[in-house]
Amino acid sequence: MTPCPVMVRCRVQASASELHRVRRCVDDAAAAFGFGSTERYEFVFAVNEAVTNAIRHGQPFSDGTIGVWIEADEDTLICSVSDGGQFEAGAEDRDAWAEGGRGLAAMAQVMDEIELCTSSNGTTIRLHKRRSEATEPDD
Amino acid sequence: MIVPNVLAPNVMGGVVGSFYLSEHTAEGDVHVIRIGGYVDFDVAPQLKKRVVQRIEAGEQSLVIDLSDAGFIDSTAIGVLVGALKRLRESGGALAVVCDNDNVRGIFEVVGLESVIPLHRTREDALAALPAPVA
């Protein structure tokens, strides 16, 4: 089995001020993968939501960071966001007037598959998005 | 490892780290808050603080102008939902200006395109607001 090429493997401080760096890094990877502009935007949006959730609701690893790992698997780009916390699934707030609680559902809207993995070491969310055949990669 | 934070255009339609917020009064004494750059969890507290200040100062209606925003996340949209809720409770209204299809798409993705009124131009947003109560 051929290992997936890893495009990005980084640790970022679990701080909101790091979000813009993550977006830039993810956008570069999405462009290199060949996503069209809408797919890139959606991919970056979903990863931003996942990292935001890890910062807001998760726990950083002992060095104060969370992990962001992007790999390509044939026509699918996968981003894994890991933190040291123990995710507990709860019902997202379906009240139209709620100020929060929409992140996970929003990620599911724009990604093809979402995996949520929890272990004693922490929580990882894996976001999968396939490249459209009709996509014309941006320059 | 991650790339340095350089100010360069990318797919998001703006520049990295270019968030700004400005305010002025438009015709009809409507308060307009203009937001540019990336509107995310990092800057949502600034947006919320400014919006709450205006509501507590007695503004009946607000226009949030996202014309220069290249990105918005669910946290920042949540701030707008909270603002709209508070304004409606006092008989006011909120209108959002957004002509960026990517940003408009995020409102749809979070399921709020029918809750938060989006307008392509500031003129349309101002026209959609109710006349101020004397």
Contacts 24+ apart (CB under 8 A), A99-103: A99/B78, A99/B79, A99/B81, A99/B82, A100/B74, A100/B75, A100/B78, A102/B74, A102/B77, A102/B78, A102/B110, A102/B111, A102/B112, A103/A49, A103/A50, A103/A52, A103/A53, A103/B74
Per-residue pLDDT tens over the stretch B3-54: 333 333 444 544 445 788 999 888 778 999 999 999 999 999 999 999 999 9
Answer whether residue B115 is part of any domain. yes
For residue A17, the chain B residues in CB contact (below 8 A) are: 42
- What's the mean per-residue pLDDT of chain A? 88
Contact across the interface for B73 and A48, Cβ inside 8 Å: yes
User: Which helix (H) or strand (E) segment is B126 a member of?
Assistant: helix B122-128
**Nearest residue, CB atoms, B10 vs list A16, A27, A45:** A27
Residues 6+ apart with CB under 8 A from A119: none
Q: Which residue has the tokens 């956008």?
A: A27
Nearest to A97, CA basis, from B59, B56, B84, B125:
B84
Q: B76 is in which domain, residue-wise?
A: 20-126
The 3-class secondary structure across chain A, one letter per residue, is CCCCCEEEEEEEECCHHHHHHHHHHHHHHHHHHCCCHHHHHHHHHHHHHHHHHHHHHCCCCCCCEEEEEEEEECCEEEEEEEECCCCCCCCCCCCCCCCCCCHHHHHHHHCCEEEEEEECCEEEEEEEEECCCCCCCCC
As for the ipTM of the complex, it is 0.86
Across residues A100-125, what is the average pLDDT?
A: 93
- Per-residue pLDDT band at A93 (split at 50, 70, 90): low
The pLDDT value recorded for residue B14 is: 45
10 Å Cβ neighbour count for B20?
Answer: 12
Q: How many domains does chain B have?
A: 1
**CB-based contact (8 Å) between A62 and chain B?**
no
The 3-class secondary structure across B43-112, one letter per residue, is CHHHHHHHHHHHHHCCCCEEEEEEEEEEEECHHHHHHHHHHHHHHHHCCCEEEEECCCHHHHHHHHHCCC
Taking a contact as any Cβ pair under 8 Å apart, which residues of chain A between 67 and 96 contact chain B? Answer: 96
Answer whether residue B100 is part of any domain. yes
Answer whether residue B131 is part of any domain. no
Joined tokens for residue A45: 């949006």
Contact across the interface for A40 and B11, Cβ inside 8 Å: yes
Contact across the interface for B40 and A16, Cβ inside 8 Å: yes
For residue A30, the chain B residues in CB contact (below 8 A) are: 11
Cα–Cα distance between A81 and A124 in angstroms, integer?
Answer: 5
The pLDDT value recorded for residue A138 is: 54
Per-residue pLDDT tens over the stretch B57-97: 999 999 999 999 999 999 999 999 999 999 999 889 999 99
How many cross-chain Cβ pairs, A to B, lie less than 8 Å apart?
101
- Which class in CATH covers the domain with range A6-89+102-130? alpha beta
Contact across the interface for B12 and A23, Cβ inside 8 Å: yes
The pLDDT value recorded for residue A100 is: 78
pLDDT at A137 over 70: no
pLDDT at A44 over 60: yes
The three-point CA angle B93-B99-B101 to 5° equals 115
Q: How far is CA A46 from CA A41, B14, B38, in A?
A: 9, 18, 15
Minimal-distance CA residue of chain B relative to A137: B11
> What percent of chain B has a predicted confidence (pLDDT) above 70?
85
Answer whether residue B50 is part of any domain. yes
Return the CATH number at B61. 3.30.750.24
Minimal-distance CA residue of chain B relative to A18: B42
Per-residue pLDDT tens over the stretch A59-75: 999 999 999 999 999 99
Answer whether residue B4 is part of any domain. no
Across residues A55-61, what is the average pLDDT?
A: 94
| 3 state SS of B123 | helix
